[in-house]
Amino acid sequence: MLTPTTLNRILAVVTLAFCLSACNDQDNPTTVTPQLRKSIAYTKLTDTTTYANFFVDDAGVKTVDLTTGANRLLMFRAINTYNGTAVGTGATLDANVLKNMFSNTGNPFSGTANTALNTSGVQLRNVTASSLPAADAEKERQTIEASFPKIATASQSVSAVASEGKAGKLGSYLVDAQGIEYGQIIQKGLIGAFQVDYIGNVLLSDKNLALDNTTLVAGKNYTQLEQNWDEIYGILTANPIYGAKATATSSGESFIGSYIWEYNKDDFPKIYAALLKGRAAIVNNDMTVLKEQAAFIHLAMEKAIANAALGYLGKWKTAGTNTAAAAHAMGEGLGFIYSLRYAKLNKADAAFSDSVLAGLISAPNGFWGLTNAKIDAASAAIRTKFNIPV
């Protein structure tokens, strides 16, 4: 039989235990293991499943937030649009504006669609080449930034006709005194250094695919792993369904999303399914399927930039006496060859990329000194590295 003293002691212990339990629940209100959401059958995913709306929590509330990736894609687009104003309107470009857009400092973004980017809290610079050790990453960021004064200086000659040793326009393309189209160098360079490297080598790395998937990010309705995958989607495409706008003559996408369509025809129709299945695998805590989709997307991007580099080297040759077409092809080709240093699945690196670039344009007259032999040597090196048959 319990005495009053014993009963009081038991009640005190029970009260303390209840209090500790309640306090613990308040500290970690959203921690659920091993699976936070209801499982998704992969068979439910179709070509018309809308990524941003399909993934919801048990209460039907959306768990997808594309903001971070979408803002970075908008910044990339803003830089590209700004560079295009030199040819489009005859504007003289300012290298400092480009540098500020790259690092999102000094409120460089303007216009209805872009002003909010200034306070978005994200930038391109710190995720560019971010898979590399810090010193190497900084070197690559400075390489990108070194292109800004190059295009700014060339823009001062936008009303002139370019020729060997003289900056200006060839057809509708702005080139420097060496015949290099820096607008393409910047765009294609960022496809590799920002999109391919950050998506493929960082966000799709084993380290990031192992991010927390059981606890909601504070104040958000997604886990860190869900947000990691959503950022990939936002960087890859601005469309609700990647690839849905493609036609026989247009990808309906931009940057790497477009070049997968143009230079990796086999994989392009499968990318959206992989994005959906990977996101569902995160919900299902299915690491095997998640890593399969990650590996597919990563390799598809590398195939696209390798084939694009080869494609534009080929276009230089077929341009013949059309100097404007040849210069434009070489601008795109050089940018893609620079980007090959981020094709880690194919064991390419900066030494490989730089050696191919040096073989092409190390002569003082750059583009104007290109020969069929130089183009052929570059093509052969890329085919060997990426195991692409002739």
Tens-place pLDDT, residues 103-122? 999 999 999 889 999 999 99
**Domain contains 32:** no
Q: Is the pLDDT reported for residue 74 higher than 70?
A: yes
273: tokens are: 């399914």
Q: Is the pLDDT reported for residue 18 higher than 60?
A: no
> Tell me, what's the pLDDT at 109?
97
Read off the pLDDT band of 10 (50, 70, 90): very low
> Tell me, what's the pLDDT at 8?
45
Q: What is the mean pLDDT of the chain?
A: 92
> Tell me, what's the pLDDT at 374?
98
Q: How many domains does the chain have?
A: 1
Range of the domain at 221: 51-386
**Domain contains 43:** no
Q: What is the pTM of this model?
A: 0.91
**Domain contains 41:** no
Report the pLDDT averaged over residues 114-131.
Answer: 98
Peptide bond into 108 cis (omega under 30): no
> Tell me, what's the pLDDT at 35?
79
**Domain contains 18:** no
**Domain contains 341:** yes
**Domain contains 96:** yes
